[in-house]
Structure 1
Amino acid sequence: MNETPTQSPVSRLHESVLLKLFLVVVLALLLLIPSNAIQSLIRERQERQATVINEISGSWAGAQLVGGPVLAVPYRYVEKEETKTADSLKMTQKEGMLYVMPEKLNVTGKLSAEKRERGIFESVVYRSGINVSGNFDPGDVRHPDINPADLKWDKARVIIGLADIKGLKNYPVIRFGAGKHVAEPDYETQLFQKSLSVLPGLTDSPTGKVDFEFDLQLNGSQNLSFLHLGKTTTVKLEGDWGTPKFEGRYLPDKQHTTANSFQGEWKLIGYNRICPQQWKGNRYRFALPAPALPDTDMKTESDDAVFGVSLLLPVDQYQKTMRTSKYAILIILLTFLSLFFTELIRKHRIHLLHYILVGAAMTIYYVLLLSFAEKTGFNWAYLIASSATIILVSSFVASLIRKRDISFLYTGILSTFYGFIYVIIQLEDFALMVGSIGLFVIVALLMYFARKTELGW
């Protein structure tokens, strides 16, 4: 009577389906190591892009901010100090500054944008023409801590704030009341990052409202913003760029965007401001990450006061490539599970080395995607890289199984996987819902094939 040979423990372990599945999952997890390295490479390219954008902005002009005008009026005050001798005070006359905001502030601007390239990287720069008009009401200037007779109106200055004075391409002529004055750089004012100012030559105790108007020819990069400083502020802005992003503390009341232009209109009232109509001292400073002034009560008002528009590049290939790379473990694991079930259904063993080679091909896919995205854009890069990977892996698996139909089967499987990820990447609001539905369907298919498979234990 013939007896069936008894398998050794080592042989049974070698042929264990459970062990093979465990090793396949471990291998998929190990491939996260090169996947993380690829994400580091993507971040490095993003940092290089940011460096190039900063270099272009440094040569052209940075993001611009237009603030003001603000009327700065010096005033006299007496400070009392105790002396060393008993029952005596030292009276010292000092000078402070009273800042007055406009009653009305109207801004109209037009942007002309263009791309600037350096190597494979590009940035958005613009030229702008900006008209600023409105009025002040000096006769309404009253502060409970200041005697009107102590105000030095003859030394009052009109101050305009900018972010990068290097982008200024004209000598602004400020019409203030009946006079016209050419603005000069102001290196003493601490109200804005960079300032221009004029001495309008006001008379003592002016009465009535005073109109002002000036034009700015301003170059900048990526963003143009404004400060809401008037009791009523109106801004009308238009440009020839099709992918704007309105942002900041206030969104436009009206906006319109086409394929190659945009318009935005803001109308703001004094209740929306982050500062009062007038204040004394260095209590407020706008949009400045600068060192604090000696005054302990100073507030640094940055993004809270800013609104405007950013000019976005239509496609950020690095952001989409990074999002795609985060699905690497899902694609690799699903592909390995497909190979595993192919082994069981076709009863043809696939060595772990072959799994490693397939995983290597699917990891290199992300390097292909990144390199082509920098040249052709994300969509074409995704098509090229995924097609090359699908053809390579499908042909390799077909040569292992020695069945031509396997090549068509894996072409369909991998095309479905990569197509599914592409759809998720393109979606924003529905990405989570579509992704969860897709994963549910995948798990259902795995359960179906597992039910049909002889697992051998």
Structure 2
Amino acid sequence: MENYQNQPKQGFFQSTTAKMIMVGLLTLVLLIPLFFVQDLISERSQRQKEVVAETTSKWGESVYFYGPILKIPYKDPITNQVENAFFFPEELSNVSNTEIKTPLQRSIYKSNVFTTKMQFKGSYDQPKFYKKNIPNENVFWDKATVIIRTTNLKSVNDEVKINIGSNSFTFEPVHNNQNNDSIESLETGYFKYNDLKNTNFNMSITYNGSKRISIVPIGKTTSAKMTSNWASPNFNGSFIPNDKKINNKGFDATWKILHFNRPFSQENFEFLPELSKYSFAVDFITPVDEYQQNERASKYGFLVIGLTFLIFFLIQSISKISIHIFQYCMIGIALIMFYTLLISITEHSSFSFAYAVAGISVVALISLYSISILKDKKFPTFIAISLSVLYTFIYVIIQLEDYALLVGSIGLFLILASVMYFSRKIEWNK
């Protein structure tokens, strides 16, 4: 009894509970530099977007095509004012070949750009002015023109012409006065529509561009085919392809759109409607860039820090080896350094290579440091294996898209089961 009473009483700060509280508080404190790292990633990502936008603006921006549209003026029999009537093609066929060029590079940032050649064929039906009770003598048949609404005029590579029957007409830019409207117009000179022997037409236009191509299906029947060497297209807009083939060499997609598939008519009197929201489009952008992958990795930072501290705490509790809070702090800072290494190496290499280098460096650093703490090679080896598995698990989740939640949930369940198994014999009341 005397020996029992003479044993020194354990203070609160030496208890398991106190150590758990301190480790938990340190984990929360380390979230502060982790947030700074996430801000750094966002800042670098924003800088990349600014540089890419500046670079692509010099090469060519998104391509939007709406046309070719037949325009014929007439005199309104009621108001006696001259108005314009716009007629869309009866048939419209498009074949576009888009080639992604070697990325433009400025400093460490790269921009994906392309050259696209768009060929159009089709025919116009006889304009039906009688639908609006407009007599034939009120129609200025000799003032007919063809217009195109498009973007990116500064990056058109060659003269734009349209052949209607045996006649050829050259487009000239018609600049609008609305500074907030990025869509510009091209229009031919006057010609006599009634003198045309047939109204079959064909034309081609070549752009330097980036990001997206969108086309408005204005034909009563519109058929389109697009081929490219870009292996990650994003089909967007109001219509998806009827058929598409995608492989690592590029893609091939076709559309067929009928007039009753879209909510606008073939004839428009008085004004030309804005139809950009009814276009079909293809986006030529990187699905997940390096900064997005870095951002995803940093969101798992709390999990990595928490699980690493938990491993050390369990080892400390099982082996009765005392680990100072300063040593926990050094381990936590090493874990934060993983993300600064990751983003800095990624900017000069691929994300996979950067992740491997940063992961190996941090695992090696913490494992060697733990040898001096734990005075043994058995536990440091376990730590190295655990951290390697953890970083590999997070890398797999980052690469997955459709199954990320499923794999992540299963992985976290297995981690929880492992922690419960290894902590089952710890006496927490001490």
Aligned ranges 1:312-331 → 2 under 5 Å:
312-313=285-286, 316-331=289-304
| Partner residue of 1:218 out of 192, 204, 207 | 207
Mapped to 2, the partners of 1:314 and 1:428 lie a distance apart of 11
Secondary structure of 1:376 counterpart: coil
> Residues of 2 paired with 1:231 and 1:249: CA distance?
16
Q: Match for residue 266 of structure 1?
A: 255
Per-residue CA shift, 1:5-40, capped at 9, x if unaligned? Answer: 4767xx521112122212212221222221121111
Contact kept? 1:232, 1:267, Cα under 8 Å: yes
Q: Is the 8 A contact 1:100 1:141 kept in 2?
A: no
Contact 1:102-1:136 within 8 A present in 2 as well: yes
SS at match of 2:11: helix
Shift of 1:314: 7.2
Q: Distance in 1 between matches of 2:403 and 2:193?
A: 64
Judging changes above 3 Å, is the alpha-carbon distance between structure 1 residues 2 and 36 closer, same or farther for their aligned structure 2 residues? Answer: closer
Contact 2:94 2:224 in 1 (8 A): yes
1:111–1:240 Cα contact (<8 Å) kept: yes
CA drift at 1:257 = 2.2
Q: Which amino acid aligns with 2:387?
A: L
Match of 2:115 in 1: 127
Q: 1:196 aligns with which of 186, 207, 222?
A: 186
**C-alpha distance in 2 between matches for 1:203 and 1:374:** 58
Q: Give the structure 2 partner of residue 110 of structure 1.
A: 97
The one of 420, 427, 430 equivalent to 1:454 is 427
Inter-partner Cα distance in structure 2 for 1:284 and 1:324: 46
Match of 1:414 in 2: 387
Question: What CA distance in whole angstroms lies between the structure 2 residues aligned with 1:27 and 1:345?
Answer: 21
SS in structure 2 opposite 1:138?
A: coil
CA shift in 2, pair 1:157/1:390, >3 Å: same
Q: Which moved more, 1:250-259 or 1:157-166?
A: 250-259
Change in CA separation of 1:194 and 1:110 when aligned onto 2, cut-off 3 Å: same
Q: Distance in 1 between matches of 2:39 and 2:182?
A: 38
Deviations 1:394-446 (A, max 9, x none): 11122111112222111111011111111111111111111111111111111
Task: Report the equivalent of 1:36.
Answer: 35
Query: After superposition, where does 1:47-86 map in structure 2 within 5 Å?
Result: 47-77=46-76
Distance 1:75 1:118 in 2: 53
State percent identity of aligned pairs.
Answer: 33
Aligned partner of residue 375 in structure 1, secondary structure: coil
Question: Secondary structure in 1 aligned to 2:202?
Answer: strand
Distance across 2 between alignment mates of 1:275 and 1:187: 25
Deviation at 1:240, TM superposition (A): 2.3
Mind listing any 5+ residue stretches in structure 2 that lack a counterpart? none
Give 1:97's aligned amino acid.
Answer: N
User: Which AA in structure 2 matches 1:277?
Assistant: Q
Letter in 2 for 1:397: S
Residues 201 and 404 of structure 1: CA distance in aligned 2, closer, same or farther (over 3 Å) = same
Q: Deviations over 1:340-367 (max 9, x none)?
A: 1111001011111111111111011101
Distance, in Å, in 1 between the alignment partners of 2:226 and 2:262 is 20
Residue 250, structure 1, aligned to residue 239, structure 2: yes
**CA separation in 1, counterparts of 2:190 and 2:124?**
13
What's 1:357 paired with?
Answer: 330
Kindly state the Cα deviation for residue 107 of structure 1 after the two structures are TM-superposed: 0.8
What are the Cα deviations for residues 119-174 of structure 1, in whole angstroms up to 9, with x where unaligned? 11111111222211101113434443655543323222211122110111111121
Q: Structure 1 residues 283, 231: closer, same or farther in 2, change over 3 A? A: same
Task: Answer yes or no: is the 8 Å Cα contact 2:144–2:193 preserved in 1.
Answer: no
Q: Does 1:182 align with 2:170?
A: yes
Distance 2:249 2:396 in 1: 26
Contact 1:229/1:273 (<8 A) preserved: no
Cα deviations by residue, 1:298-320 (Å, 9 ceiling, x for unpaired) = xxxxxx22223222347611111
Paired with 1:384 and 1:157, the residues of 2 have a C-alpha distance of 63
Aligned residues, how many? Answer: 426
Q: Does 1:445 align with 2:425?
A: no
- Say yes or no: does 1:333 pair with 2:321: no
Question: Which of residues 297, 304, 311 is equivalent to 2:284?
Answer: 311
Partner Cα distance (1:157, 1:207) in 2: 12
Computed over aligned residues only, the root mean square deviation of the Cα atoms, in angstroms, reads 2.3
Q: Which deviates further from its counterpart, 236-245 or 117-126?
A: 236-245
Instruction: Write the letter of the residue equivalent to 1:394.
Output: S
Indicate how the Cα distance of structure 1 residues 27 and 363 shifts in structure 2: closer, same or farther if over 3 A, else same. Answer: same
Amino acid at match of 1:159: I
Decide whether the 8 Å contact of 1:192 with 1:285 is kept in 2: no
1:69-105, Cα deviation, whole Å (9 max, x unpaired): 11122222367xxxxxxxxxxxx64232222111111
Give the alignment's TM-score, normalised by structure 1. 0.87
Aligned partner of 2:223 in structure 1 is: 234
Q: What is the CA-CA distance between 1:238 and the residue it aligns to?
A: 1.2
The alignment partner of 2:154 has SS state of helix
CA distance in 1, matches of 2:127, 2:85: 14
In the alignment, does 2:139 pair up with 1:151? Answer: yes
Q: Distance in 2 between matches of 1:200 and 1:5?
A: 112
Change in 2 beyond 3 A, CA 1:18/1:149: farther
Given that residues 135 and 212 in structure 1 are in contact (C-alpha distance below 8 angstroms), is that contact kept between their aligned partners in structure 2?
yes
- 3-state SS, counterpart of residue 451 of structure 1: coil
